[in-house]
Amino acid sequence: MVNCTTALSMPHTIISKSTDDGALLIPILHRAVGLGYLRRPAEREKVMKIGCMIWRIGDILDFNEQIEWVKAHGFEAVEFWTLPGSSGVWQGFDIKNASPENIAQLKRILDGFEEVDIHAGFNEMGLRLGGKEIIRMEPTFELAAEIGAQVITVHPEPKTDRTSEAESLERLNDLAGKYGVCVGLETMGGLATLQNVLLVKRLALPHVGITLDVGHLYFENGAAFENYGTLGNLIDEVSVKIIHVHAHDYDGRHDHLAIGHGFIDFPDIIGALYRAHFLGSICLEINPDREPPADILKTQKQLREIIISVHYCTVK
């Protein structure tokens, strides 16, 4: 019998094989018995979904072509920014200038994904959102409702007091409830992030949760989870509502790296997410200036292997 805890703490070698009935055998590396296999049923069970962020994928800059690439390579989910992007660098969806025809085309191209998520644009987000500013976000919520998006991720405003943050989250909660979506407050790293996480937990708003950005949480030497030992322990002990995840590795200097190009303990994090009953989307945020498309696909495969391994070790 393979010890799941031991197996998951070891490096994941990407060696998988299929059975005659189409099931996938997932490798578990164990120091005592060597390489063993767990059987994944051919029919997909409820497990975490893997998505990909639309920025630029290698030389693919066109927004629609990026989505088609993500779909063609077996991602269950996709996420995009409601900003036009930067010429020649990256592209999002230009919500400010989008016509009804643009939105109809977007709906068509998104068809087939299990989950669609939105990252609110820089000019729309932040917690200092009172009066006119909160109204400016409404087109993003309208778009989310129109295309069936599940989560809108926002960044916290770095310089606000807790009272204004709480009021802004309550406003966002009302807006999310109106349009039938959820708002994920992204973790940006450092001690301020821990305070935001605790605030979201304390408020317990029905339509607001945390977008757990794994790479950002390792900023400042992991200050956000330092008192908990590991990020997995933070997830276990704080028990905040996590509704979305951004996944990328971090090497102490650069974030948005492919898994394995940094030092983040992904099995620890995925295990904690399962214990938290998270079954949402884990979106890969890989910097196209640092990683080629091949490494995005390698990360997808590694992450899927970890997810399935944790799934079997947790529920079987």
Q: Cα dist. 243→17, 147, 186, 247 in Å?
A: 32, 18, 10, 13
pLDDT of 129 over the 70 cut: no
pLDDT of residue 121: 75
Please give the average per-residue pLDDT across 197-202, as a whole number: 95
The pLDDT confidence band at residue 46, using thresholds 50, 70 and 90, is confident
pLDDT of 12 over the 50 cut: no
Note the pTM of the prediction, 2 decimals: 0.84
The pLDDT confidence band at residue 10, using thresholds 50, 70 and 90, is very low
Tens digit of each residue's pLDDT (9 = 90 or more) over 72-110: 999 999 999 999 999 999 999 999 999 999 999 999 999
The pLDDT confidence band at residue 44, using thresholds 50, 70 and 90, is low
Domain ranges in the chain? 1-43, 44-315
Tens digit of each residue's pLDDT (9 = 90 or more) over 135-148: 478 899 999 999 99
- CA distance linking residue 79 with residue 100, whole number of Å: 20
What CATH architecture does domain 44-315 belong to? Alpha-Beta Barrel (3.20)
pLDDT of residue 160: 58
For CA atoms 10, 16, 18, 19, give the dihedral sign. negative
118 within 8 A of 149, measured Cβ to Cβ = yes
Of 63, 62, 146, the C-alpha closest to 100 is 146
Q: 50 - beta bridge partners?
A: 282
196 or 246, greater pLDDT: 246
pLDDT of residue 120: 92
